[in-house]
Amino acid sequence: MSSSSSLKFNNINSFVDTSFFATLADLKLNKLKLDSSRIRIKGFSSHPSVLTKFNDAPIINFDYSSFDSAEHSDHGSNIEWYGYIYNTNTIEEFKNIDKQKMLKKWGEEILENIKRLDSTEDYASFNQVFALTFSDLKKFKFYYWFAFPSIHSPWVHVGEVKHVSPEVQSMIQHEVSNTPFKQFFQLTNDFQLVSGKLNPDFNTFAFVDICNNQTLTTSLQLKNYLYFLALKGFKSINIISYKADGPSAQFQLRLADSFDKNESPKIQGWERSAQGKLGPKLADVGALSDPKRLAEQAVDLNLRLMKWRIAPELNLDDIKKKKVLLLGAGTLGSYVSRTLLGWGVRNFTFVDSGRVSYSNPVRQPLYFFKDCYAENGKGEWKALQAAKALKEIFPDVQAKGEIMEIPMIGHPVDNSDGNAKESFDRLCNLFEAHDVVFLLTDSRESRWLPTVLGQYYNKIVINAALGFDSYLVMRHGNMQKEDFDAQRLGCYYCSDVVAPEDSLSDRTLDQMCTVTRPGVASIASSLAVELYISLIQRSSLEKLKGQSSSLFDEVPHQIRGFLHNFSSMKLHNLNYKHCSACSDAVISNFRETGWDFVKNCMNDTKYLEDICGLSQVQKEAEMASQSALNDLSLDELGLDDNEDFSEWIS
């Protein structure tokens, strides 16, 4: 250096681990939301005692622990540096902020802090870190710019730079290695430590660098200490720039006469790039992360935004942990599973006995043309392929398929038919293992046994059924009464006065397929899922009242829709005491004899009607009808007294 020149400093750099951005994203969603006020952060650097010659630049590191609010914990091999982060809500806000004005404000905060000090022992007051960020959570991109504000004072270098003697190097090394970290401290004329307040009689100071740059330079952090000495009236000082594994240097500085402590100082400190240019950085975390992990975060994003902006009481964990059993993997099963997936459900089991046919893919979104002929010219099993398709859509999902025919009332079995009993046992096990059951099969009788099991195992049962241009979506009542004043809601069969029977045999072509307007299934499926979500988001899961309320307001019992006039209506009906599926008599008999009861019902629907009391209801209805007919006069019947009507009375 010349005999009188300005000091040269090494700029401070940041190193940001990807865990820093993951934590920032979580903080943005769950705490900050639209709040762009500053929050506390901290970084860390390696302790000077463990630096090597390869640590040739002053670096402050940031990771997931940077948001930990714990106070000083300097020990071991790390030193913590404290400050604040400002996370903007839009990229426009990030770009348009007056960066110089913001840096000046940060520097003035440091200035106000050090004006109140009488020593340099509290390094955190002299060195603060700040960050301006924008988090693009949809693309997993993070824009950020760190600042390490430094306050300028007009010190000039006088004379030559000298190497520090081994004795002084050893003394400072002992102080750094064996005492709590101090970055800047005063020394006597014989290089002994001065503790406590600054002593105006001594003008030698040691600065502990946090890098081992092999040149006779020093880190930018020295600037704030120099400004502090200028404020305290020092005019000429000796600085020892200590480096643990580098050339420690000693040089003399003189304060220029132009210094005026009443004037606002110049403040610098925005981090520069490796090329020495000013500008923010971009972390594209998406390009560095596991795609499966990114998918999981992205799927959760919309739900968490919903919780953040609209429904803060939404229990996403409760939705996510529920195990869903889908009886039917056709059109309804496909749409219901996709909608549940959008709500964050992760655990699915499909039950179906059919294969993918050529007519399926256009209406059933879990299947493709190749699935129609994949297995020796046959279609894939629907249950297996549906589970596979969900995993392809979202790898984190837990989905499996069960190839199984549901035992159906009206479809007789004999004692030698072990398959039906096996299917019954498997279905019972599935009900026990799941939290909610969706009835999505394509026949009325296939829903009877699941309705009985739903009551017996006390499960949430959601039913969706289709007509040509109409649909029914409903939740079944439950025998576990949580409201002693309420009666149990009805099930799918509570409006019937006859037991379900075989509707599949001898069907015409148009009856062999589910002939509906294409939009009916997706509408009904969406409503079924939304009804279920609303049901489980109630503060108390009361399954009993027809028009109860939840986080999403109303939770109806039934929704019936009609596309011929694009209308829908909400209905509710209470449990029918003679219901063929959920009456007390049916459940009691099932509880007592299990499979034997089910087998008897399958073989003879009259048996079921006798058990639940429908036979008596039908008999009484016929008697009442006959009585009413007998009470009518000939005039009321429109008959002549002389007319011979023996032909139509038998």
What does 327-359 look like in DSSP terms, one character per residue? E--SHHHHHHHHHHHHTT--EEEEEE--B--TT
Q: Is residue 311 pLDDT above 50, yes or no?
A: yes
Pair (381, 255) in one structural domain: no
Name the domain count of the chain: 2
Q: Residue 282: how many CB atoms within 10 A of its CB?
A: 11
Q: If pLDDT is split at 50, 70 and 90, which confidence band does 632 have? A: low
Within a domain: 495: yes
Pair (439, 556) in one structural domain: yes
Within a domain: 635: no
Q: How many CA atoms lie within 13 A of 13 on its CB side?
A: 14
What is the H or E stretch that residue 127 is in? Answer: none
Within a domain: 142: no
Pair (351, 469) in one structural domain: yes
Pair (186, 325) in one structural domain: no
Q: Is residue 511 pLDDT above 80, yes or no?
A: no
* 3-class secondary-structure state, position 54: coil
What contacts 64, CB < 8 A, 6 or more positions away?
17, 19, 20, 22, 23
Q: What CATH number is given to the structural domain containing 238?
A: 3.40.140.100
* 3-class secondary-structure state, position 324: strand
Q: Which residue has the tokens 């009464």?
A: 481
Within a domain: 40: no
Q: What CATH number is given to the structural domain containing 325?
A: 3.40.50.720
Of 331, 434, 438, 444, give the one whose Cα is nearest residue 386.
Answer: 331
Contact 551, 560 (CB under 8 A): no
Within a domain: 231: yes
Give dist(CA 66, CA 42) in Å, integer: 5
Dihedral sign, Cα of residue 440, residue 446, residue 447, residue 451 = negative
What contacts 84, CB < 8 A, 6 or more positions away?
38, 39, 40, 41, 128, 130, 131
The DSSP secondary-structure symbol of 272 reads B
Fill in the amino acid letter for 144. Y
DSSP per position, 177-218: HHSS--SEEEE-TTS-EE-SS--TT--EEEEE-SS--SSS-E
CA distances to 68, 153, 197, 520, 583 from 492, in Å: 54, 83, 84, 19, 12
CA distances to 24, 109, 266, 285 from 139, in Å: 14, 35, 38, 9
From the candidates 494, 513, 601, 612, give the one annotated as an active-site residue: 513
Pair (507, 444) in one structural domain: yes
Pair (339, 230) in one structural domain: no
pLDDT for res 18: 87
Give dist(CA 445, CA 500) in Å, integer: 5
Q: What pTM was computed for the model?
A: 0.71
Report the mean per-residue pLDDT for the chain. Answer: 87
What sections of 365-417 are H helices per DSSP?
382-393
Contact 281, 144 (CB under 8 A): yes
Q: Residue 304: how many CB atoms within 10 A of its CB?
A: 19
Q: If pLDDT is split at 50, 70 and 90, which confidence band does 636 have? A: low
Give dist(CA 608, CA 496) in Å, integer: 13
Known catalytic residue: 513? Answer: yes
Pair (502, 458) in one structural domain: yes
pLDDT for res 177: 86
Pair (376, 231) in one structural domain: no
pLDDT for res 508: 56
* 3-class secondary-structure state, position 528: helix
* 3-class secondary-structure state, position 262: coil
Question: Mind listing the pLDDT tens digit for each residue in 418-468?
Answer: 789 999 999 999 999 999 999 999 889 999 999 999 999 999 999 999 999
pLDDT for res 647: 47
Pair (245, 347) in one structural domain: no
Region 42-67: mean pLDDT is: 88
Q: Which of 39-43, 191-195, 542-546, 558-562 has the lowest mean pLDDT?
A: 542-546
Residue 524 lies in domain? 295-614
Pair (330, 239) in one structural domain: no
Last residue of a domain, one of 245, 263, 281: 263
- Pick 140 or 631 by higher pLDDT: 140
Burial class (CB in 10 A: 0-12, 13-18, 19+), 594: middle
Within a domain: 523: yes
Region 351-355: mean pLDDT is: 96
Within a domain: 539: yes
Pair (428, 531) in one structural domain: yes
Q: If pLDDT is split at 50, 70 and 90, which confidence band does 649 have? A: very low
Helices 595-603 and 448-456 meet at what angle, rounded to 10? 160
Contact 284, 90 (CB under 8 A): no
Pair (248, 370) in one structural domain: no
pLDDT for res 648: 46
Give dist(CA 415, CA 412) in Å, integer: 10
Give dist(CA 210, CA 243) in Å, integer: 8
Q: Is residue 99 pLDDT above 80, yes or no?
A: yes
Q: What's the Rg (C-alpha) of the chain?
A: 39
Within a domain: 92: no
DSSP per position, 129-163: EEEEEEEETTTTEEEEEEEEEEE---EEEEEEEEE
Q: Which of 41-45, 133-137, 375-379 has the lowest mean pLDDT?
A: 375-379
Question: Mind listing the pLDDT tens digit for each residue in 563-583?
Answer: 999 999 999 889 999 999 999
Give dist(CA 362, CA 352) in Å, integer: 19
pLDDT for res 1: 38
Region 28-46: mean pLDDT is: 89
Of 385, 407, 381, 337, give the one whose Cα is nearest residue 597.
Answer: 407
Q: If pLDDT is split at 50, 70 and 90, which confidence band does 631 have? A: low
From first CA to last CA, the distance across the chain in angstroms is 129
What contacts 12, CB < 8 A, 6 or more positions away?
58, 59, 60, 148, 219, 220, 221, 271
pLDDT for res 140: 87
Last residue of a domain, one of 220, 239, 263: 263
Contact 534, 555 (CB under 8 A): yes
Helices 605-612 and 595-603 meet at what angle, rounded to 10? 120
